[in-house]
Amino acid sequence: MLSDRARIHVQAGAGGDGCMSFRRESRVPKGGPDGGDGGRGGDVLLVCDDSLRDLQFFRRTAHFKARRGGHGRGALRFGPEGEPLEVHVPPGTVAILEDGTRHDLVAPGQRAVVAKGGSPGRGNKHFATATRQAPRFAERGLPGEEAWIELQLKLLADVGLVGLPNAGKSSLLSRLTRAQPKIADYPFTTLEPVLGTIEADERQLVLADIPGLIEGASDGAGLGHDFLAHVERTRLLVHVLDLSPIDGSDPVANHATIERELAAHDTRLAALPRVLALSKVDLVTPQEAAAAAAEWAERLGPEVPVVRTSSATGEGLDELRGLLLAHVPLAPPAELPEVEGLAEHQVFRPAARRGFQVEQLDEGRFRVLGEGIDRLVLRYDLENEEAMAHLERRLKRIGVIQALEDAGFEPGDDVEIGGVEFELDPS
């Protein structure tokens, strides 16, 4: 069974802690601080893998966690960076993050970072100054990003076969290609898209048999959005129309129903090239089939070829195969920029959002809200007096202390930042 939807949880690795260390070597008195920095946490990446076909794997495994960065060590030795975690997905996968960001993975080898590793902490060497020559604190690494991600698979097919249930799409696909879809004499025999290929001397086309659509499919009726999404990436649509429906319905109305639902789902689908395949012509007389083809050709105009087909007798299949090879446009080759040489470059990573706000919880208790301030507090051990003093100086330079005083704060009051409540005495 094709799995075209999944929900996974990803967590990037935390950054390694900085090291608090002092150089100790014979005949080198007062060697000074030499704590190294931690390593950056590993990212979580989605990688497009051409060997995969659906999202079945994610029904069994839904949680992915990258490795954390290594801690810093003495002698200015930095911790190693965490190994990035690659999560492989099939071509055609759309990844939707909680903030609405979308990653469209269609080309093999394409990669997208969906969770960034935590930044590392600095060793005590960074905090040595002329007046603080032996800092006895270091920074902690920050946790990596984590999120739930919605994965949706939209098949990468050149041609999509669309039509009402029991229109003959599966039979047509089985005769045009070597695919073996389920075929029966009742509606909705196809419950998942089926792929097949047409091979010519220099080309190969992928055909997708899209499960039968009904009126209201664009609003979720029947198989609804689940399979309408699979025609979004096609470059040509074959509308399979039954000339003699078993329910006695009007083919003209049936054709209008499908076209209306395709346009309602995505206006781009209304502009895709079309081929109309009149199916099951063996069930009507040759005169009736010829008259119907002429009528539809006049109704749709010269831009939409009309083919009479019969999966039972093979009539029109060679003509339809030739039309598909002739009318599906060739995909333009990817143009890669010419690079004469690699220039020196610097990596810029997005910083945390600036700004904060102060609110009073009750008498003697305040809360400071702000992403950057939360990350700052996470960096330090609040039980360490030197680290606490350094944090208070940072808060003063940023303007947090002044904002607290403007709100009525007095030294010794409790302050909550990032879910941690502590007594603040900047004096």
CA 320/CA 10 separation, integer angstroms: 46
Asked if residues 45 and 113 have their Cβ atoms less than 8 Å apart, the reply is yes
Backbone angles phi, psi at 402, to 5 degrees: -65, -40
Tell me what pLDDT residue 366 has.
93
Count how many Cα atoms sit within 13 Å of the Cα of residue 73 in the half-sphere of its side chain.
5
Closest CA to 314 of 274, 280, 276, 288: 280
Mean pLDDT value across the chain: 84
**Amino acid occupying residue 249:** S
Backbone angles phi, psi at 400, to 5 degrees: -70, -40
Q: If you ran DSSP here, which 8-state letter would residue 345 be given?
A: -
Helix (H) or strand (E) holding 179: none
CA 417/CA 392 separation, integer angstroms: 13
Longest dimension (CA), the chain: 108
* Average pLDDT of the segment spanning 80-87: 96
Closest CA to 115 of 83, 85, 145, 154: 145
pLDDT at 354 over 90: no
Strand arrangement of the beta sheet that strand 274-279 belongs to: 194-199, 204-209, 159-162, 236-242, 274-279, 306-308
CA 241/CA 297 separation, integer angstroms: 13
Local confidence band at 223 (pLDDT 50, 70, 90 cut-offs): very low
Helix (H) or strand (E) holding 386: helix 385-398
pLDDT cut 90: percent of the chain above it: 44
Please report the domains of the chain, with CATH numbers, ordered by start residue: 1-153 (2.70.210.12), 159-327 (3.40.50.300), 357-423 (3.30.300.350)
**Amino acid occupying residue 45:** L
Q: For 299-347, what is each residue's pLDDT tens digit? A: 999 999 999 999 889 999 999 998 998 888 665 544 434 444 455 656 6
CA 154/CA 232 separation, integer angstroms: 7
CA 122/CA 127 separation, integer angstroms: 9
Asked if residues 237 and 160 have their Cβ atoms less than 8 Å apart, the reply is yes
Q: If you ran DSSP here, which 8-state letter would residue 195 be given?
A: E
Distances (CA, A) of 236 to 239, 269, 273: 10, 9, 5
Local confidence band at 190 (pLDDT 50, 70, 90 cut-offs): very low
Handedness of CA 16, 22, 23, 25 (dihedral sign): negative
Backbone angles phi, psi at 358, to 5 degrees: -115, 135
Closest CA to 21 of 160, 135, 170: 135
Residue ranges in 144-283 assigned as alpha helix (H): 169-176, 224-228, 251-265, 267-270
pLDDT at 218 over 60: no
pLDDT at 217 over 50: no
